[in-house]
Structure 1
């Protein structure tokens, strides 16, 4: 089956609406993930969900390990001592490790993904240093308010996503996929539902966790893939520690938003393009999200992602 490595870079400068390019809210994210059944050896496998096996059916199971950092800032980066409750996003950083499992059912067109995530928000995330050094290197304005960021807090979470082909695949170049997901824990509690449309030349989404197959896998195999995706989703949010502060020390940050400022229903739209040759894939995605808090703005960011085969 082999191992695969995926590296992704999110930034709110990677957007096509250049006139609205921002440096606010979710402003940067780096994510790395290693897909390999080596991670099946770790005890985290006992907390991961998978599709139940059935007689006469075989599913594809792929474990993974990931790490990442996310950076969040307000609209105005030039204020050192911000006013209380400014109807703006607090400074916040998030650093995490994740262990996951993806179960794929190519016959019925189903996929179940689960992740156990250990993270931290606050100065330990290193977000302030990363953004300050990046802005200094690129001669951007210096973010002045990191002294008001969320204090250190653990952020242990559990993520689950279920996906299913909504309409029988009547065309090899068009597919409609429905998805529901939920995140539970100390970072944020929410549930989402939505759909994803795929157009173009692609391998079956439900045949593996990566979509990159080798010719010895005994499955329909397309060496060259070129396709676009379009998705919409609706999210109900109970809480968000990146806005409200963590469970233990959040009350000690007077710049966190009160619970009454939080918007509990969000809409998201994303679209992207992907190109792959054999076991290498490059993709670019755009995400537009409605405001997360009162008097906030909608927000858009882009993602560049590289996925490739890295060994047995």
Structure 2
């Protein structure tokens, strides 16, 4: 049934470019600390026929009526301490840490029964091999920001392999302009392990959420009435509670200056005991799209990720372009 629907509509493709940065702040209070930057480039596509790639066959789907979007992505995430001007290691702050990884994803939505599965397989590396020092120094040089000095004691190289699976189900709907869903995500692997729960509220002029991932941000189908159904403009609210088992971007081994002899370095092991097990956050923002183009801005406010850490905010801006 899903294959017949896609065949009738034609396969779709979508590019997404997104940037997380704590310099993006609707309260005009930019920072450069904790989770400070994240860049991701995605290529999503629908297809007809059976899945042949083993990851696509194993991923959970949303039933025979599902609309499935497959994705290949590359991403880089970066953490830094509160002060970039200090050369010394700060044991009670976030360590310099970067992850560079590839993602294969399957987003499966059932428009009839109103539920979805989203699955991601992550493979990458944390540490100097992830290129965080070069990225941040280039950006800071380009925009004349302060030069970061502490990258000599960033978390060491580590292989990252992770699986993330998310389930969402519509709970309530008021007409075509208000939707409320509930969701949960389970993550396991060497990058991050944990469980999260959240409601997702969307308000505005929008395509139904369970009509597929690509349709949430773009619409390349020619409407029967000119311009009817092409414009989307809606708000998003998603509070979340997360139980964290491990997070490789926060803890691991690093080299730092010996406090006794400044000409020597010592290996420091940041224990998982410093991780805050319960994290609360709020994501809110909006989406505007017209036809094949879409743009979204969201703000994330979260409690401390470390027991001796601090709450933090960052913004996300995402650009979408769909085509056949």
Same fold (TM over 0.5): yes
CA distance in 2, matches of 1:225, 1:162: 24
Q: Distance in 2 between matches of 1:261 and 1:112?
A: 32
**Contact 2:154-2:254 within 8 A present in 1 as well:** no
Kindly state the Cα deviation for residue 37 of structure 1 after the two structures are TM-superposed: 4.0
Partner residue, 1:226: 233
> Which whole-Å CA distance do the structure 1 matches of 2:81 and 2:174 have between them?
46
Alignment partner, residue 17 of structure 1:
27
The structure-2 alpha-carbon separation of the partners of 1:47 and 1:120, relative to structure 1 and needing over 3 Å to count, comes to farther
User: 59, 74, 83: which one pairs with 1:76?
Assistant: 83
In the alignment, structure 1 residue 62 sits paired with structure 2 residue 85: no
Matches within 5 A, 1:142-291: 142-167=147-172, 169-211=173-215, 212-215=218-221, 222-245=229-252, 250=253, 254-255=267-268, 257-291=270-304
Give the Å deviation of 1:216: 5.7
1:26 aligns to what? Answer: 35
1:47–1:127 distance in 2 versus 1, CA, 3 Å: farther
Structure 1 residues 256, 301: closer, same or farther in 2, change over 3 A? farther
2:322 corresponding residue in structure 1 = 309
Length-normalised TM-score, structure 1:
0.90
CA root-mean-square deviation = 2.0
Contact 1:109 1:164 in 2 (8 A): yes
Structure 1 residues 154 and 305, CA, compared in 2 at 3 Å: closer, same or farther? same
Shift in Å, 1:171? 1.7
CA distance in 1, matches of 2:251, 2:74: 23
Name the residue aligned to 2:261: none
Once residues 120 and 226 of structure 1 are traced to their aligned partners in structure 2, the CA distance between those partners, rounded to angstroms, is: 37
The 3 A distance-change label for structure 1 pair 31 and 142 is same
Distance 1:227 1:238 in 2: 34
Q: Distance in 2 between matches of 1:223 and 1:91?
A: 44
Q: Deviations over 1:196-252 (max 9, x none)?
A: 11111000010011223333699xx7210111111101000011111112xxxx377
Per-residue deviation, residues 143-191 of structure 1 (Å, max 9, x unmatched) = 1010100111100000101111111x23211111111001110001010
Q: 1:179 to 1:93 in 2, by over 3 A?
A: same
Q: Does 1:5 align with 2:15?
A: yes
2:39 is the alignment partner of 1:35: no
Instruction: Determine which of 289, 294, 298 is the counterpart of 2:307.
Output: 294
Q: Once the two structures are superposed, what CA deviation does each residue of 1:131-152 show, in whole Å capped at 9, x if it has no partner?
A: 0111112111111010100111
Q: Give me the whole-angstrom Cα distance separating, in 2, the residues matched to 1:95 and 1:217.
A: 40
What displacement does 1:106 show? Answer: 0.5
2:264 corresponds to which residue? Answer: none
Secondary structure of residue in 2 paired with 1:166: strand
Task: Report how many residues are paired.
Answer: 297
Does the aligned pair in 2 maintain the 1:269–1:289 contact within 8 Å?
Answer: yes
SS state at 2:250 partner: helix
Unaligned runs of 5+ in 1: none
Contact 2:14 2:44 in 1 (8 A): yes
- What's the counterpart of residue 105 of structure 1? 110
Compared CA separation, residues 269 and 256, structure 1 to 2 (3 A): farther
Unaligned runs of 5+ in 2: 1-10, 257-266
CA contact (8 A) 2:254 2:268 kept: no
